[in-house]
Amino acid sequence: MLMPTSPAPVRNAMTIDVEDYFQVSAFAPYIDRADWDRRECRVERNVDRILALLAEHQTKATFFTLGWIAERYPHLVKRIVAQGHELASHGFGHERVSDLTPASFADDIVRTKALLEDLGGHEVLGYRAPSFSIGHANLWAFDTLLEAGYRYSSSVYPIQHDHYGMPDSPRFAYPVREGLLEVPVTTLRMFNKNFPSSGGGYFRLLPYALSRWMIRKVNTKDQESAVFYFHPWEIDAEQPRVPGIDGKTRFRHYVNIERTHARIAHLLKDFSWGRMDEIFLGRKAGPNSALSEHAAATISA
C-alpha cells in the first residue's frame, strides 16, 4: 500500500545585496563618495564567508552586485558564478533611482550589466534598485530596464517606510511590463497592512522565531515563494564604526549584527532556498500574483 507523500516544500529566493558598509544610503550624509576608495573595504572577506555558508547548506542564491565592487574585485565575481550562484545587478555606485535622471539611470544599468556579464561570462537578467528606490514617481525606470535587456526587477518594497516603499503595489511577482517581471521582497499581510518579513534591519531586530513564522506563513497561507535579502556587512560585527552618525542611523545599522551570521545559518536549515531566476522566470503566476485592478492601473501609469 502506497503511503501519501507530503508536498514538496516551497522554495524561497535567497538574495544578497553586494555592497560594503560605507556604501549604504543611510551613511550618505556622513561619508563622501570621493572617500570610498580610502575606506577599509571588507566586502570580499564577507562575501567569501557567505559563499562558505551557502556551500555548507548546499544552497544557491542570487547576488545583486554593485558595479563599483565588481570593478575592484573581479575575482570575487568569478567565484560567485563559479559556485553556481546567479549574478545580478545592483547598479554601479549605489545611487538611488529616485536621484537619477532617465538618461543617467540608463547609463548606470547598461554599464553595470555589461561589466558583470564580461566578468561572469553569463547574461545578467536581474536588477535590484539601491534602497528599493523605484516608486510612483519614477515608474519610467521599468521601461528603461526592459530596454536594457533585463528580464526581472526586485526593486519595489510594498511597505510604508521613511526611506522607500510603495504599500499599494502587489506583494508577489507580477509582470510590470511585457517581458519584465517585478519580484518584490516579501511582506506578510495582517490587519489590512503589509509587514516586512524578508530580511534587512527587520530580520536583525525581530526575534528569529518571529521571522521564521512570517516566512512560513507566506509559504503556507499564500502558497508563495518568499524573497529574502541581506548584505555582506550585516554579518561583520568587526566592521569599522562610522563616527558622528545620529542615533537612529546607528541603531538601524548596527543592531544585532553579531547575531546575523547564525540567524542566516538557521534560515538556510529551516527553509528550502534557490536563485531568483530559477524560481521566478518562466513560472506561472500563482493565485495571489495577479495585479489588483487598482494596482494594475497604478503601476501602468
Per-residue pLDDT reduced to its tens digit, 120-165: 999 999 999 999 999 999 999 999 999 999 999 999 989 766 566 6
State the burial class of residue 7 (Cβ atoms within 10 Å of its Cβ: 0-12, 13-18, 19+): exposed
DSSP for the chain, written as a single string: -PPPPPPPPPEEEEEEEE--GGGSGGGTTTS-GGGGGGSPP-HHHHHHHHHHHHHHTT---EEEE-HHHHHH-HHHHHHHHHTTPEEEE--SS---GGGS-HHHHHHHHHHHHHHHHHHHSS---EE--GGG---GGGTHHHHHHHHHT--EE-----S--SS---TTS-SS-EEEETTEEE-PPPEEEETTEEEE-SBHHHHHHS-HHHHHHHHHHIIIII----EEEE-GGGG-TTSPPPTT--HHHHHHHHTTHHHHHHHHHHHHHHSEEE-HHHHHTTPPP-TT-SPPHHHHHHHH-
- pLDDT tens digit string along 204-250? 999 999 999 999 999 999 999 999 999 999 999 999 999 999 999 99
Rounded-to-integer distance, Cα 187 and Cα 65, Å: 23
For the chain, domains (ranges, CATH) are 11-300 (3.20.20.370)
- Give the per-residue pLDDT at 284: 41
pLDDT on residue 167:
81
Instruction: Average the pLDDT over 247-276 and give the result.
Output: 96
Report yes or no: 87 and 77 within 8 Å, Cβ to Cβ: yes
pTM recorded for the entire structure: 0.91
- Residue 53: is its pLDDT beyond 70? yes
Q: How far is CA 23 from the centre of its chain?
A: 15
Chain-wide mean pLDDT for the chain? 90
What is the per-residue pLDDT for 67? 98
Average pLDDT, integer, range 33-39? 95
Is residue 63 predicted with pLDDT exceeding 80?
yes
pLDDT at 297 over 60: no
269-279 burial, b at 16+ Cβ within 10 Å, e below that, comes to: eebebbbbbeb
For the record, the C-alpha cell of 173 comes out as: 511577482
pLDDT at residue number 14: 98
Q: How confident is the model at residue 171 (pLDDT cuts 50, 70, 90)?
A: very high
pLDDT at 93 over 80: yes
